[in-house]
């Protein structure tokens, strides 16, 4: 079940069974008191009842949920089980409940709600802020309610307790969860991350993981697992190293110790993208459907002299090293929105332009957040010039980085790029497409539904890059091969064509990098 407003993404039975089976395998842990802070439809409770008949016979269970109808379902399950005399239920918001609760629990387990900050009311945001402040986290980390559930639950664990939550993959990879990750590392002797496949929560546009934190553990550290068989509840350890690609993310879980050591060694002395490139976000119009239009709309409203070329979406481009005028003309002839209205600095408008602006006001375009803060409202910032090159924030197989030969503007789906100092953009693009940079893009980027990856501004700017200066002829040679050959061949070409790499990386290491990149990309694209 999915509810974007309440954040209720109920745990599928097959995942609940795997989680409980994994928890109950630990012979040295006793779960005498169990709390589920967001019981939902009772899937986890059902698995606890069904699989914990022997190990949990002397345990008590406390269930909490803000939705009484769902709470009653879980109560019915418990009333018809061996826990009928050892459970207690509360219909309450857990963010209120945890403040009143005086008990500690040996196991806190559940699937907390995932609600983005912009869907939270002011009172809930205030509560979340207080919870974050209680452990000295900064206010800007409140992006989603699940982080507050994690923090407040942790306060109710006993000194040897276990926290087990189904969480969005944001836990591993996004900047806003970084402080939470650091806090969890400080609180638990052992952390286990169990990755799930995309089909578990098919309605959510991102993957989930199972987080397990053990206050006390015989074998300490961070361990990564993968569910390999849901029906038989089989979980396989895929990594158990303490090495980190980045302290700010936990996305390296399927790399071996030797692979991580290789990447760290090769990247530690490399410059980063921001050493060579000034990167700025593309244009934010505040109302793309109004300000960006097709050829027919431009002609019908007599807007030709006020229109400039723009590339609206990544889907309108191919994987190449440049975006040409012929490709832009093809976009226009296909009737796609390819023109942006630029009235900046123009005092006298034509009758057609005046009528178009008036129509925008009749549609309340001028009352939108971005437009209402501009004078005049139809003046779009960032239109001074088109960038030398650009790269789209999101990509599927590889980042899409282009020389801007068509001299088009870009929306904020892309980053506008200019070289610093005497550096050369063609040399930068050539240098960018190498195994090390693209491997770190896989590790640092944020994964979305369907395997799409996004690089935030800071993630893009901090990618390591072995920059070299190349000739015009070499760029043309590589450009031809780039569109005709598969990505792995292109990446190997970039090594072979560069004396820099020949002097520092062995052929064996190139093969290792090939395997690392293939593994990371296949994991993201859900390939076996």
What mean pLDDT do residues 223-242 have? 79
Mean pLDDT over 493-520 rounds to 73
The C-alpha atoms of residue 520 and residue 506 are separated, in whole angstroms, by 21
User: Is the per-residue pLDDT at 376 higher than 90?
Assistant: yes
- Cβ atoms of 393 and 410 within 8 Å: the answer is no
Instruction: Look at strands 307-311 and 389-392 and give their pairing.
Output: unpaired
What pLDDT is recorded for position 263? 87
| Lowest mean pLDDT, pick from 16-25, 358-367, 444-453, 464-473 | 444-453
Residue 419 has pLDDT above 90, yes or no: yes
Tell me what the mean pLDDT of segment 214-221 comes to.
87
* Interval 43-48 mean pLDDT: 92
Q: Is a pLDDT exceeding 80 seen at residue 384?
A: yes
Name the pLDDT band for 202 (thresholds 50, 70, 90).
low
pLDDT value at 326 more than 70: yes
**pLDDT band, residue 2 (cuts 50/70/90):** very low
Task: Provide the pLDDT for residue 248.
Answer: 54
Residue 107 reports pLDDT greater than 90: yes
Q: What is the pLDDT of residue 499?
A: 46
Assess whether pLDDT exceeds 60 at residue 240: no
Q: Is the pLDDT of residue 4 over 50?
A: no
| pLDDT at site 140 | 62
Where residue 267 falls among pLDDT bands split at 50, 70, 90?
A: confident
Tokens 């638990």 — which residue? 188
Q: Given a cut of 60, is residue 312 above it in pLDDT? A: yes
pLDDT at 3 over 50: no
> Region 293-317: what's the mean pLDDT?
94
pLDDT at 245: 58
pLDDT of residue 369: 92
Highest mean pLDDT: which of 102-111, 213-222, 448-457? 102-111
Q: Phi/psi of residue 120, each to 5°?
A: -90, 145
pLDDT score of 149 more than 70: yes
Low-confidence winner among 64-68, 100-104, 239-243, 300-304 (lowest mean pLDDT): 239-243
E runs forming strands in 124-257: 157-168, 190-195, 208-214, 221-229, 234-239
Residue with tokens 């038989």, as numbered in its chain = 232
Share of the chain above pLDDT 90, in %: 53
Query: Looking at residue 511, what is its pLDDT?
Result: 87
pTM of the full predicted structure?
A: 0.67
Among 202-211, 354-363, 371-380, the least confident range: 202-211
Q: Classify the C-alpha dihedral 269-270-273-274 as positive or negative.
A: positive
**Whether residue 303 has pLDDT greater than 90:** yes
Which string of DSSP letters, residue by residue, matches 12-68?
Answer: PHHHHHHHHHHHHT-TT----EEEESS-TTSHHHHHHHHH-TTTTTT-EEEEEES-H
Distance CA 263, CA 266 (A): 5
What is the radius of gyration, based on Cα positions, of the chain? 27
Number of helical H runs and strand E runs in the chain: 21, 23
Please, what are the domains in the chain? 2-243 (3.40.50.150), 255-276+420-528 (no CATH), 284-384 (no CATH)
CA atoms within 13 A of residue 421's CA, in its CB half-sphere = 6
The reported pLDDT for the residue numbered 528 is: 47
Average pLDDT, rounded, for the chain = 86
408 pLDDT exceeds 60? yes
């Amino acid at each position: 079940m999915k509810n974007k407003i309440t954040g209720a993404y109920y745990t599928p039975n097959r995942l609940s069974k795997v989680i409980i089976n994994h928890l109950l395998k630990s012979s040295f842990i006793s779960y005498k008191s169990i709390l589920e802070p967001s019981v939902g439809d009772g899937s986890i409770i059902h698995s606890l009842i069904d699989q914990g008949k022997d190990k949990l016979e002397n345990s008590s269970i406390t269930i909490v949920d803000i939705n009484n109808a769902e709470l009653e379902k879980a109560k019915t399950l418990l009333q018809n089980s061996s826990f009928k005399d050892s459970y207690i239920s509360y219909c309450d918001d857990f963010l209120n409940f945890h403040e009143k609760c005086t008990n500690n629990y040996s196991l806190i387990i559940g699937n907390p709600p995932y609600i983005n900050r912009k869907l939270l009311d002011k009172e809930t945001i205030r509560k979340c802020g207080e919870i974050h402040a209680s452990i000295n986290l900064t206010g800007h980390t409140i992006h989603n309610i699940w982080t507050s559930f994690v923090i407040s639950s942790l306060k109710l664990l006993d000194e040897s307790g276990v926290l087990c939550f189904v969480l969005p993959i944001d836990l591993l990879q996004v900047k806003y969860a970084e402080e939470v990750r650091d806090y969890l590392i400080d609180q638990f002797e052992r952390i286990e991350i169990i990755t799930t496949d995309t089909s578990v929560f098919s309605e959510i546009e991102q993957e989930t993981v199972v987080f397990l934190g053990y206050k006390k553990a015989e074998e300490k550290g961070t361990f990564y697992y993968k569910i390999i068989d849901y029906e038989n509840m089989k979980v396989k350890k895929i990594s158990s190293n303490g090495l980190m690609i980045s302290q700010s993310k936990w996305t390296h879980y399927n790399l071996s110790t030797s692979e991580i050591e290789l990447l760290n060694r090769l990247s530690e002395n490399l410059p980063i993208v921001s050493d060579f490139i000034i990167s700025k976000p593309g244009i934010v119009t505040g109302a793309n459907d109004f300000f960006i239009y097709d050829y027919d709309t431009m002609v019908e409203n007599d807007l030709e002299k006020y229109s400039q070329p723009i590339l609206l979406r990544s889907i309108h481009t191919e994987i190449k090293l440049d975006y040409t005028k012929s490709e832009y003309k093809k976009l226009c002839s296909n009737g796609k929105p390819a023109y942006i209205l630029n009235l900046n600095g123009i005092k006298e408008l034509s009758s057609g332009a005046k009528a178009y602006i008036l129509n925008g006001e009749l549609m309340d375009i001028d009352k939108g957040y971005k437009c209402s803060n501009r004078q005049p409202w139809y003046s779009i910032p960032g239109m001074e010039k088109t960038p030398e090159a650009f790269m789209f924030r999101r990509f599927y197989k590889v980042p899409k980085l282009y020389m801007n030969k068509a001299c088009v503007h870009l929306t904020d789906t892309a980053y506008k790029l200019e070289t610093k100092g005497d550096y050369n953009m063609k040399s930068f693009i050539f240098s960018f497409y190498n195994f090390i940079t693209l491997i770190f893009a896989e590790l640092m980027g944020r994964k979305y539904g369907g395997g799409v990856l996004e690089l935030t501004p800071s993630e893009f700017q901090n990618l390591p890059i072995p920059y070299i200066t190349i000739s015009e002829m070499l760029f043309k040679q590589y450009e031809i091969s780039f569109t005709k050959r598969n990505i792995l061949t292109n990446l190997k070409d970039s090594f072979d064509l560069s004396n820099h790499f020949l002097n520092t990386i062995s052929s064996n290491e190139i093969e290792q990098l090939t395997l690392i990149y293939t593994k990371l990309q296949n994991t993201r694209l859900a390939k076996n």
